[in-house]
Amino acid sequence: MSLVSALGSAILPVLSVSAVGFLLGKLREIDVDALGTVTIYVLTPALIFHSLATSEISGDVVAKLLAGVAVFTLAMVVLAEAVGRLLGETEPVLSALVLSSAFPNAGNYGIPLSAFAFGAVGRSTAVLFIAGQSVLMYTVGVYLASRGDETDLRSSFAEVFQLPLVYAVVAAWVARWLGAVPAAGTPAMETLRLVGDASIPVMLLMLGIQLANTQHGAAVSRVGVSNGLKLLVAPLVGVGVALALGLGANPAVARVFVLECGMPAAITPLILSIEYRSEEAAGGLTGPEYVSTAIFASTLGSVVTLTGLIALLQAGLLV
């Protein structure tokens, strides 16, 4: 696939809906938290259940994929930590750099883009990626955001089990194991499909609204390293992990995995930074300021990098 084709078929649909959300966020005061609640507790669980219940991805590939998410995330944490320390960054900016480099926006950007670029397999793989990353986000991510602070990490880990997506994953695989998945076209599956499909435009609108409300002017000159790690290095790490774990045996899944690894910085690290390090500063820069700038800049930069990455992946040149 050419760069122009990748841009038109995958990137532009995502950007168009996100741009509507961005403009809406600039023109009106939108309560994105309410949208987030509906997405997390209703739309995304339906998307996850329907995608996994109807997916042709085998259990063996699922295990490799989840292992890949863990290996990729930990590898990026170690790499970003090392780079940050070599550059002399101190807390809270060091943790902000690691958070924005290690966790891709695999949800409200990654799921729609993977669906546009790779169809049903893309959506199912992206759903599994975000399920695995959510566990790491509320364990490794919370540790990074709160290190040096007196934080009850056990309580933070318990938040994982308050996420409906965890139970949607379990329910989908139990239904498959028992042979209890409703047939395609039945009212139950059509309802799940309809509700799940609604999550994609809503997530993109949320992304645009969140970017419109991001404060990014103070740290533009400081996030170049994070953006380089996230947009250029992370996809290469993803390729290495996919090949090392044997995901290449299922090329479609491996390609979506690499695409997810190359997504821009995720939104959740910003929430964690605000929660644990909102007042601390290093060199006049707080953790939330750094992360919000990284999100904004990497999302803009991803238009170029993801267009090229999708073209290479669909041509079969990486995995």
Percent of the chain with pLDDT over 90: 36
Residue 214: which residues within 8 A CB-CB, separation 6 or more?
A: 292, 293, 295, 296
Tell the CATH topology of 3-314. Na+/H+ antiporter like fold (1.20.1530)
Model confidence band, residue 3 (pLDDT cutoffs 50, 70, 90): low
**Predicted confidence (pLDDT) per residue in 205-234, tens digit:** 887 887 787 665 556 778 899 999 999 999
Q: Which residue has the higher pLDDT, 296 or 306?
A: 306
Q: Classify residue 251 as exposed, middle or buried by CB count within 10 Å of its CB (0-12, 13-18, 19+).
A: middle
Please state the domain extents for the chain: 3-314
Q: What angle do CA 103, 160, 191 make, to 5 degrees?
A: 95
The answer to whether the beta carbons of residues 239 and 97 sit under 8 Å apart is no
Nearest-10 Cα torsion for 157, 161, 165, 167: 150
The Cβ of residue 240 has, within 10 Å, a number of other Cβ atoms equal to: 16
CA–CA dist 63, 81 (Å, integer):
27
The predicted model scores a pTM of 0.84
What lies within 8 Å, CB to CB, of 82 at 6+ separation is none
The pair of three-digit structure tokens given for residue 54, joined into one six-digit string: 């109807």
Compute φ and ψ for 182, nearest 5 degrees.
-60, 150
> What pLDDT, on the 0 to 100 scale, is given for residue 297?
87
User: Please, how many CA atoms are within 13 Å of residue 162, restricted to the half-sphere of its CB?
Assistant: 7
- The residue count of the chain comes to 319
| Separation of CA 72 from chain center | 13
Contacts of 91 (CB under 8 A, 6+ apart): 147, 148, 277, 280, 282
In sequence order, the β-bridge partners of residue 104 are 265
DSSP state of 282: E
Residue 9's pLDDT is 65
> Is the pLDDT reported for residue 2 higher than 60?
no
Contact 240, 86 (CB under 8 A): no
Q: Does 59 or 195 have the greater pLDDT score?
A: 195
The whole-angstrom distance between residue 15's C-alpha and the CA centroid of its chain comes to 16
* Helix pair 287-314, 268-277: axis angle to 10 deg: 160
User: For the segment 230-284, what is each residue's pLDDT rounded down to a tens digit?
Assistant: 999 999 999 999 999 999 889 999 999 999 999 999 888 877 777 776 566 666 7
The confidence score (pLDDT) of residue 230 equals 96
**Distance in angstroms between the alpha carbons of the first and the last residue of the chain:** 15
Q: What is the residue type of 138?
A: Y
